[in-house]
Amino acid sequence: MGRQRRWRRVDFLPPVTYFKPAGVRLAHLQEVRLCIEEAEALRLKDIESLEQDECAQKMSVSRTTFARILLSARRKTADALLNGKAIRIEGGNYELAVRRFRCEQGHEWEVPFEVMVKEPPQFCPTCKTPRIMALWPWTSGWGIGGRGRRLRGEQNR
């Protein structure tokens, strides 16, 4: 029995999750699936221009794990671009850096990733009611798609 996989911290969900080559019909198109954490690795390293140590720390993984995630993302992206394949961004093994919650009384609050991993909220911090619900990213302005904390095999083939 192997070690349990750690959740990868993600600060951003892309608002567009599907890209396809122009002029190729969907019926004739092969697809490459890029995990949310792979897209985050590309964003941190190639767009934010952070060092790998900083990227790994932001994603709450080791530097070698970050390097593997980044290598996988770059290979998939190169395959899609050079071989005319579509890119679908979805699934993976990630947790949003901040999650929003709302109680039945309408109070809303955010819980950081580090707290969520150790102990998810059980009560509203304002009125102490146990009737709380997580607000998904698209209801709180974080983008469209994904609900955070996705398992690797769930939609990532």
- Summarize pLDDT for 42-66 with one digit per residue, the tens: 999 999 999 999 999 999 899 999 9
Q: What are residue 133's DSSP bridge partners? A: 102
CA distances to 25, 34, 78, 155 from 28, rounded to whole Å, are 6, 19, 19, 21
Q: Could you give phi then psi for residue 34, rounded to 5 degrees?
A: -105, 120
Q: Could you give phi then psi for residue 93, rounded to 5 degrees?
A: -130, 75
- Summarize pLDDT for 68-91 with one digit per residue, the tens: 999 999 999 999 999 999 999 999
Length of the chain: 157
Tell me the whole-structure pTM to 2 decimals: 0.68
Domains of the chain: 8-94 (1.10.10), 96-139 (2.20.28)
Instruction: Give the integer Cα–Cα distance in Å for 85 and 106.
Output: 45
Q: Is 96 helix (H, G, I), strand (E, B) or coil?
A: strand
Q: State the DSSP string of 11-70.
A: S---S--EE--TT--GGG--EEEE-HHHHHHHIIIIIS---HHHHHHHHTS-HHHHHHHH
Res 133: pLDDT: 87
